[in-house]
Homo-oligomer: A and B are copies of this chain.
Amino acid sequence: MNPIAGVHLAGIASGLKASGKPDLMLATVSPGTAVAGVLTRSSCPSQPILWCRDILPRGSARALLVNSGNANAATGKEGWQVLQESVDAVAYILACDPRDVYIASTGVIGDVLEPHSIAQRVPAVHQALSQTAWTDAAQAIRTTDTFAKGSSQHAIIGDTTVTINGIAKGSGMIAPNMGTMLAFIFTDAVIAPALLQKVLNPIIRDTFNSITVDGDTSTSDTVLCFATGTASHPPATRAQLRDFRRALREVCHDLALQIVQDGEGATKLIETHVIGAKTRRHAHQIGLSIANSLLVRTALSHHVISWGRFMMAIGKTGLPVVPERIDVAIGGWPVVKNGHGLPDMATAEIENYLRSESIVLTIDLHQGTAQHRVWSCDLTEGYITINNNRRHRT
């Protein structure tokens, strides 16, 4: 990923993780940076979520500090002290308002860190700042992720080409109806915070909020988008953001799909495209019901045409569908027509298609014109094994 003017970042192994793996990330953004974000809707949020929720309405940012390995969730007053000391340490070293310092933490839920544990490591990570350390930063926020996640796009605003870089982490405890896992997006575009937030919201809905690994919503889900305003164009109007919107959507889509592909134990990416719905919300809800169904996900892990399970998952939403109108296709091959299994479906071709790493399911409700896509992964013994071994985490 290319540098973005105004953004410096670092990811280091600071010794917070007993394993010695990278665990601390710092990004600084130039004065005047606008920020927008979406945070978990969990009613048991982590301390960093409470902090970000407080400061986000200000719309300005100077830094982002993220630790992995400990979520600082369900940690009460002691956790709040850890957070405050971390914020203060960053504000001190940058000589900025503490309310411009964003914090995220991911890892075990409920373990209380020593008050200074993160704060005392801030000078070391600050020392390592550079304009090019995108991969280091993405590495430092990993927990059970098997690879570091990043995505980049260019967009044109007026006559100026701006850059959008994003990094993310996430592999388990991934479910929509929330912010999402951690994703941090940086751009040099000149956009006011309120407008940035407006642009971001529907994109989050269609990307991070349309993925699921296990239906379990984290206490720490965070998406933050920083616009340094270092590009040369005048402040963007809504109308000028057409291409920026496209590019931001691409970055979010790419990061969201990387999270699902890295779903714990996953062997395939499953796209469920619900069309012909009365409303987009119906399509979204039905898509998620299929995507989260254990029976659908176990069947697909072993390339089994379990179309009856799709009908079950559609039905369990309780939404007013008309079963006799429903068509289902797998990879474009029709399997259900008017609510009936096709006796002459291309079984061999479909079963072969189901062996691929990426599967598209299309559900046509024939009730209207709304549609929505969601992405999930299959459910394998791997998920069970991974989650047997750890005590708890976000």
Once A44-B315, A388-B298 are accepted as A-B contacts, the answer to whether A74 and B323 lie under 8 Å apart by CB is yes
CB contact between A42 and one of B299, B307, B318, B339 (< 8 Å): that residue: B318
Shortest beta-carbon distance from A209 to chain B in Å? 13
The interface bits of chain A over 293-331 (1 if a CB of B lies within 8 angstroms of the residue's CB, else 0) are 111001101101111110111111111110110100000
In the complex, A15 has a CB within 8 A of chain B: no
- Please indicate the chain B residues that have their CB under 8 angstroms from the CB of A390 in the complex: 299, 304, 306
In the complex, A392 has a CB within 8 A of chain B: yes
State the interface size on chain A (CB cutoff 8 A).
74
Once A43-B319, A76-B338 are accepted as A-B contacts, the answer to whether A298 and B392 lie under 8 Å apart by CB is no
CB contact between A41 and one of B216, B318, B338, B392 (< 8 Å): that residue: B318
A339 to B74, CA, bound (A): 6
In the complex, A109 has a CB within 8 A of chain B: yes
A394 closest partner in B (C-beta): B312
- Overall SS of chain A's interface: loop
In the complex, A262 has a CB within 8 A of chain B: no
- Please indicate the chain B residues that have their CB under 8 angstroms from the CB of A379 in the complex: 384
CB contact list, A338-359 vs B, under 8 A: 338-341
Beta-carbon contact of A312 and B218 below 8 Å: yes
A384 to B302, CA, bound (A): 10
CB contact between A294 and one of B305, B316, B383 (< 8 Å): that residue: B383
Beta-carbon contact of A44 and B298 below 8 Å: no
Beta-carbon contact of B311 and A110 below 8 Å: yes
Beta-carbon contact of A387 and B336 below 8 Å: no
Shortest beta-carbon distance from A260 to chain B in Å? 15
Beta-carbon contact of B298 and A341 below 8 Å: no
Beta-carbon contact of A295 and B42 below 8 Å: no
Once A111-B341, A338-B76, A340-B110 are accepted as A-B contacts, the answer to whether A312 and B42 lie under 8 Å apart by CB is yes
In the complex, A142 has a CB within 8 A of chain B: no
A318 to B219, CA, bound (A): 11
CB contact between A308 and one of B74, B299, B316, B385 (< 8 Å): that residue: B74
Beta-carbon contact of A312 and B216 below 8 Å: yes
- Taking A44-B312, A218-B312 as given, write out 9 further A-B residue pairs in contact, using a Cβ cutoff of 8 Å, ordered by the A residue number: A42-B315, A43-B317, A44-B321, A74-B308, A74-B323, A75-B340, A177-B318, A294-B387, A384-B384
A-B contact pairs, 9 of them (CB 8 A): A42-B315, A109-B311, A110-B311, A110-B340, A217-B312, A294-B387, A295-B387, A306-B390, A308-B393
A-side interface residues toward B, CB under 8 Å? Answer: 40-45, 71, 73-76, 108-112, 172-173, 175, 177-178, 214-219, 292-295, 298-299, 301-302, 304-309, 311-321, 323-324, 326, 336, 338-341, 379-381, 383-385, 387-394
9 closest Cβ pairs, A-B complex: A109-B308, A308-B392, A44-B315, A42-B315, A217-B316, A298-B387, A302-B388, A110-B341, A110-B308
